[in-house]
Structure 1
Amino acid sequence: MDVLLVNPRFNGASEVSPLSLECLAAPLLADELSVAIVDMDIGSEKEAQALLMEALEGGKPLIMGVTTLSGSIASALAACGTAKKIHPPIRTVLGGIHATVLHEEILRENKEVDVVVRGEGEETLPELMKGNFAMASLEKIAGISYRQGHRILCNPDRPLLKDLGDMPPPAFHILDNRCYRTRSLSSSRGCYHNCRFCSIQSLYQGIVRQEPLEKIFIGIRDLRSAGAKRIMFTDDNFTFHPRRVREICEMIIQERLAQGVELYVQGRLDDFCRQPVMAQWLSEAGFKAVYAGAESGAQEVLDRYGKGMTTGDTKRGVSYCIEQNLMPVVSFILFGPWDTVETMLKTIRLAKELFENGAEIAYTECLIPFPGTPVQAELEKDGKWKESGGVYYFESYTGIDMEWVLKVCNLARAMARLIYGDEPLFPVRRVYYEFSLLEYLLQGQVPPVYDSWLALLPTAGRDGALEADRRQIEAAMGDIL
């Protein structure tokens, strides 16, 4: 085997295929190189490790390329260490956003990594293969950092690909479709917006490039041929250009590409405010949902995030989508560096309102200040950026303890499961229930629904497991409230 590409483990629950590796594989295959992909983020940890070892022992690849996000860097480095132990001659290459931002630190602290590819890798990785990692060839390859003795050398940046159409379509056939609930496709790269918590700018510097329509057509066709039933357009912002959205939708309708498959996109709700008919185009073309970040229900927090939209935009955008039977799946960040209890309550109340009006809602408990983001830079400057064992977090500007927030969220989660867990629609309503409980818990109050539920429990002969859960919740409330 020439090249082994690895998607490192995050939580083992990935439902979407690793598009970045399929894109990397395509030009390598076009150069008639043998390529395999090991996705360690599906199945059990034992199964993932066995897949990696089998590929290393059986294939003896010349190069192993590993993509990295901040949440999976530990797994990526462990994979490189495993590769060096099993097959010492192998050359290990790290890429992705995290490696791009922290390339020097990674090389300085991790001898198991030979080269870091900064930015896009579709041109860089084939050049590494052709140069066979000879030092004379490494010096000529743009966009890489590497080790020479005790020195870390950083070659000049490689310009972004001028025309995405110059690259072959992603190698979708290289992965087993049965391993994924959803396959991914991209019609563009980059985003014009400047959300201060987003790391995309580290790669694309605010530049947006579009895939040719013909290549998008080929991508959907190939995924359908592979047996895909759900396709997610994982563009950084699919909805940024309404005319482009209309062209894609017209092509999908004309070529009947949505037959037998459900389509999904990632976009921004304020884009629908500027062009409400876009929701109709997407719905008519077979798109089932749009995934969008509202982030906060407090305008002052949105402004801190540099989101460039208002809470009113969120409400209007959601309504336009619902009117056209395009499900908005709206995500929130409950607690960030500038949040107070009051701003968190605004977020909860906005999310509940959207759900009651027909949207789906999701949330992450705390903002993660990823390296390379403006939020992280500000926090670090003010001495409030923290890192421990590869986990990034922050000290609040408002004095709220993050550990307290996480404990309250865990309590709401356990309480919702205890009170509502037997309902048939609990999976759909879970976040709504948790937010309803958090509304009281964040204010130091016992939710009335808990007292009502408790009053209905028999005083004798209670189920043992139920009683144990109740006692844990009572103890947690005593600790938190």
Structure 2
Amino acid sequence: MKILLSIPLRDGMYTKFPDELLSIAAVLEKNGHHVMLHDANLGDRTAESFRDFGPDIVGFSVSTGCVADSIKKAIDFKKTFPGIKTVWGFRHPSALPEQTLAEEYVDYVIIGAGEYTLLELAEYLEKGTGSLAEIKGLAWKNGNDIVINEPRAFLNDLDELPDPAWHMVHPKKYWDVSIITSRGCPFSCTFCSDATFYKGNVSDLSAERIASQSERLRREFGINYIMYTGDNFGINKERLHEFCRIMIKKKLKLKWNCQISGYVTEEDARLMAKAGCTAVILGTESGSQKILDLLTKGNVQEFEKTFWNLVRQRIIPTLFIQYAFPTETAEDFKETLEFIKRLDNPPYLFMKFVPYPKTVLFDRCAKDKLISVPEKLADWSGFQLHYATQGNLSAIPQRLMDDTLSRFRATFASRRLFFMLRHNPVYFINAVREPKQFFSSLLYLIKNFLNALFDGSNGKESWLVKLRRILEMTPSLELQKNNVNINLSN
């Protein structure tokens, strides 16, 4: 069959590498299907523009923030290709399959990981053998009834999957090229949709496979810097150490970044640095122990120890901070700001809390009537953007948040440069030895700085966002909601 995998438009300038869909594409292609992947964030297209490909199935990877564009595209494909089957997957439809399938423009929902569920669905639609009821992990319509099949077993051996279908995209068009090193997380953070999506299960790609995929990306696509994603990357110490030793032995001229959720020892950091690690995203979330307890996220002291263990090895951590949680007060928020100061004002990412469906905090917010739960799929259009910008579920004064966000945007680039000068001055000396790598890093910093300035999906709009919206005639949040309703009525 001809299968189009679609990534709808998302907010912001940042382009996320489509690891999940590339993995699904590889499995489908391996089993003889013709697959195309389209990322609207690199250039949007209409359904009509895919006429030459003529898809039999279009699969949408849908997070809460891109429901509106997913609806628009699904309707467009249904009108353009009358016999096409629309399949929705990823976090939002997995959390709310019944509500998603209630719409006529959605034929199937894949709950959880999609590789084998979509493959079996494609085989059924192509050959007509078996039955829909036998496809685990699938939700579908039987007349006016919505059927939720038995869940698909969690994939414990990620090594059985083929390498992602990187040839379907241009990796260098993305800001980060990444490899998913694990699925799931051993923790159950109350704000995180992974706990619902993976239901507490964890599986790891082997150290050998991570290294071989890294080597292939460098050899075939010229990628010299890789982001290793997966909450378990720094938690599984045995695999982390094995991976680092393999990379050291291979002597690849490859630098890398990774996500860190757990504690990193001095030994871990030394080995990571020797293996090419230059930076990490440290998921601290907050500097207030009260808020960390609300999130079931760990403790402040452990994050501080991890931070300095990394910095001493010239690995630069970027703190991932969220704010405006339910019950969070001005005092709690100021504890986070003091936490950042204690760490000598390092680089950080600053994101406003958004409650995602079926998470513990979402259910709590609904129970306490802090949010109105959308009753229809289209009502989710603008939900994420509202709580990321206008909504405030905390007790933090709006002025305090606005002022802090303004400082974050204004100092985004200078903060990183000054921290590097203080804690890794050798980096600037190496600019003479490796000018190409230095200027690539500088360009990356400039792009991220512009993204921070122009990001209209995080807190109060900056004056640059307002100017861009006026010049480009970008619709406001209310107009975006109205546009979805107009599409549904046509």
Aligned counterpart in structure 2 of residue 310 of structure 1, from 299, 302, 309: 299
Output the CA distance in 2 between the equivalents of 1:344 and 1:186. Answer: 32
Work out whether 1:114 is the aligned partner of 2:103: no
Q: 1:210 to 1:372 in 2, by over 3 A?
A: same
Compute the RMSD of aligned alpha carbons: 2.6
Q: Cα offset for 1:185?
A: 0.2
**TM-score of the two chains, using structure 2 as the length reference:** 0.78
Output the CA distance in 2 between the equivalents of 1:121 and 1:318. Answer: 35
Whether the aligned pair in 1 keeps the contact of 2:95 and 2:358 (CA below 8 Å) is yes
**1:262 matched to which residue of 2?**
255
Work out whether 1:371 is the aligned partner of 2:357: yes
Output the CA distance in 2 between the equivalents of 1:119 and 1:334. Answer: 28
- Give the 3-state SS of the residue equivalent to 2:115 in structure 1: coil
1:134-168 deviations in whole A, cap 9, x for unaligned? 59621221111111221111111111113212211
Q: 1:429 to 1:16 in 2, by over 3 A?
A: farther
- Give the 3-state SS of the residue equivalent to 1:217 in structure 2: helix
- Give the 3-state SS of the residue equivalent to 2:41 in structure 1: coil
- Give the 3-state SS of the residue equivalent to 1:132 in structure 2: helix
Output the CA distance in 1 between the equivalents of 2:70 and 2:344. Answer: 37
- Give the 3-state SS of the residue equivalent to 1:3 in structure 2: strand
| Structure with the larger RCO, 1 or 2 (CA within 8 Å, 6+ apart) | 2
Aligned counterpart in structure 2 of residue 177 of structure 1, from 168, 171, 181: 171
Output the CA distance in 2 between the equivalents of 1:424 and 1:125. Answer: 42
**1:158 matched to which residue of 2?**
152
**1:294 matched to which residue of 2?**
284
**1:435 matched to which residue of 2?**
none
Output the CA distance in 2 between the equivalents of 1:426 and 1:191. Answer: 31
1:29-428 equivalence runs, <5 A: 29-42=29-42, 47-50=43-46, 53-54=48-49, 56-108=50-102, 110-132=103-125, 137-224=131-218, 225-257=220-252, 259=253, 261-268=254-261, 270-272=262-264, 275-307=265-297, 309-356=298-345, 359-364=346-351, 366-387=352-373, 389-390=379-380, 391-392=383-384, 393=387, 400=395, 405=398, 408-413=400-405, 425=414
Output the CA distance in 1 between the equivalents of 2:61 and 2:301. Answer: 38
Output the CA distance in 1 between the equivalents of 2:227 and 2:122. Answer: 31
Output the CA distance in 1 between the equivalents of 2:16 and 2:55. Answer: 25
Output the CA distance in 1 between the equivalents of 2:181 and 2:413. Answer: 37
Structure 2 residues not aligned, in runs of 5+? 420-462, 468-490
1:299-333 deviations in whole A, cap 9, x for unaligned? 111111111x2111121111000001111111111
**1:9 matched to which residue of 2?**
9
Whether the aligned pair in 2 keeps the contact of 1:246 and 1:278 (CA below 8 Å) is yes
- Give the 3-state SS of the residue equivalent to 1:36 in structure 2: strand
AA partner of residue 17 (structure 1): F
**TM-score of the two chains, using structure 1 as the length reference:** 0.79
Whether the aligned pair in 1 keeps the contact of 2:244 and 2:271 (CA below 8 Å) is yes
Q: Cα offset for 1:35?
A: 0.8
Whether the aligned pair in 1 keeps the contact of 2:263 and 2:303 (CA below 8 Å) is no
**1:436 matched to which residue of 2?**
none
Q: Cα offset for 1:280?
A: 1.0
Whether the aligned pair in 2 keeps the contact of 1:266 and 1:291 (CA below 8 Å) is yes
1:86-142 deviations in whole A, cap 9, x for unaligned? 21211111110111101110111x211110000111111111111117596212211
Q: Which has the larger radius of gyration?
A: 1
Structure 1 residues not aligned, in runs of 5+? 431-464, 470-481
Q: Percent identity?
A: 27
Q: 1:397 to 1:363 in 2, by over 3 A?
A: closer
Output the CA distance in 2 between the equivalents of 1:233 and 1:22. Answer: 15
Q: Cα offset for 1:250?
A: 0.8
AA partner of residue 360 (structure 1): P
AA partner of residue 45 (structure 2): Q
- Give the 3-state SS of the residue equivalent to 1:192 in structure 2: coil
Whether the aligned pair in 2 keeps the contact of 1:11 and 1:41 (CA below 8 Å) is no
